[in-house]
Structure 1
Amino acid sequence: MDRKNEIAGHILAIITIIIWGTTFISTKILLKTMTPIEILFIRFVIGWIALFLVNPRRLKIENPKQEFYFAGAGLCGITLYFLLENIALTYTFASNVGVIISVAPFFTALCAHFFLK
């Protein structure tokens, strides 16, 4: 790997971490005037606009079953995640939610080890 690409990758990773980390604090501030569902909706609209600007073409559906898999993955992996994160921020500090979220992959690996033998 080229040294320039490696440095650029590290810089982009640091920027991503900073943006991701500030979302906890900004969501906590937004919760003073908005509900968790309103924040979730606005976040999705911003995300949809960003994705549309990057790639304005609509994806072709291979088969309807695939569309249900995508909808299920979006519901469980994105929608419920952010909704529950927003709700958690109403009950505790942003730092607590950040720590809980950061250890979630560890518990996922533990559950996978024990349940997917």
Structure 2
Amino acid sequence: MEDRKKGIVYMLIVITIWGFSFVATKVLLEYLDPAIIAVTRFLMATIILFAICRKKENYKRGEIWYVVLSGFLGITCYYMFENVALTFTTVSNASLISATVPVFFLLTVDSLKRSLSRPIKYIGAIIAFVGVGLLILNGKFNLDLNPLGDFLMIGSVFSWVFYTLIIDRMGSRNVLIVCRDLTLAGTVFLLPFAIYETQELRIDIFSQYDLLVVIAALIYLGVFCSALGFLYWNKAIQLAGPATTTNGIYLLPIVAIIGDSIIIGNVPNIYVMFSTGLVLAGVYLSERS
């Protein structure tokens, strides 16, 4: 299998895993504070990654700063923005705003290159985003605006855009080692936020059921979404390229809808089917160009 196809497979695995991360985080916010959730999941991920790989990488001076900055942007900034945003806004709003990442990535890359991509690429991006919007609204145009929460989600979008650009600059470096080191850096930057929250620590766990829910959600976020998710996502960027990998974010709501139909039994309606078609068509046009 050629590298690009391998990268797409890695991307699809991560999208499948991340499709439920918003829900898991929203559930945890009923019991714990945002920074506590973030630092716990990434501390778990750091321990797992160091257990898997103990090799050292001989980074150049500039590359060390890339690792530190990518950890700060992709972990500290992104997940603090997202976790705090979810205390003010809905999962639907957060999912919709997150789906703008490929659009802003395309605009950012073109701005840095000082040249525009082919128009078909922008047309594909717009079609995919419209599809995501219709998919989340599900024919009910009653999007609940939460200015503070939505603004914070926009912060997470730009954090992820620049994180992707930096990871792409790491080139052929060992992805496992880079992922391990940037996860450690991001976790260290999260600690001050977690320490600040401990001044008024909130742990609303009142029963054994609550405890099991919290443990299960943290394991899911820490092991699958963080350790494995970041590892495979960075590998996808290396193999398939940042643009193709980033376009996979359009597929996140589709995964959530599929999971909803399988686990809860909600049968997709005509809006879901039409919206899914738009998303897939938009991604196809962007990639075909």
Normalization by structure 2: what TM-score? 0.34
Pick the aligned partner of 1:98 from 95, 102, 110: 95
1:1-117 pair list within 5 angstroms: 1=1, 10=9, 14-63=12-61, 65-114=62-111, 116-117=113-114
Q: Deviations over 1:56-86 (max 9, x none)?
A: 22333433x4322321221123220111111
Amino acid at match of 1:37: A
- After superposition, the CA RMSD in angstroms is 2.5
Going from structure 1 to structure 2, the CA distance change for 1:78 and 1:116 (only over 3 Å counts) comes to: farther
Runs of 5+ in structure 1 lacking a partner? none
Q: Deviations over 1:18-71 (max 9, x none)?
A: 3201111010011111111111101211211221132122333433x4322321
Q: 1:95 Cα deviation (Å)?
A: 2.3
For residues 58 and 85 of structure 1, the distance between their equivalents in structure 2, rounded to whole angstroms, comes to 31
For residues 82 and 72 of structure 1, the distance between their equivalents in structure 2, rounded to whole angstroms, comes to 14
How many residue pairs get aligned? The number is 110
Amino acid at match of 2:30: K
Runs of 5+ in structure 2 lacking a partner? 115-289
Amino acid at match of 2:74: G
Q: 1:116 Cα deviation (Å)?
A: 4.4
Amino acid at match of 2:25: T
Deviating more after overlay: 65-74 vs 18-27: 65-74
For residues 112 and 16 of structure 2, the distance between their equivalents in structure 1, rounded to whole angstroms, comes to 34
For residues 80 and 48 of structure 2, the distance between their equivalents in structure 1, rounded to whole angstroms, comes to 20
For residues 13 and 108 of structure 1, the distance between their equivalents in structure 2, rounded to whole angstroms, comes to 16
For residues 114 and 96 of structure 1, the distance between their equivalents in structure 2, rounded to whole angstroms, comes to 27
Q: 1:113 Cα deviation (Å)?
A: 2.6
Normalization by structure 1: what TM-score? 0.75
Going from structure 1 to structure 2, the CA distance change for 1:111 and 1:67 (only over 3 Å counts) comes to: closer
* Identity in percent: 33
Going from structure 1 to structure 2, the CA distance change for 1:100 and 1:67 (only over 3 Å counts) comes to: same
SS of the aligned residue for 1:44 comes to helix
Amino acid at match of 1:67: I
Amino acid at match of 2:18: W
Larger Rg: 2
SS of the aligned residue for 1:27 comes to helix
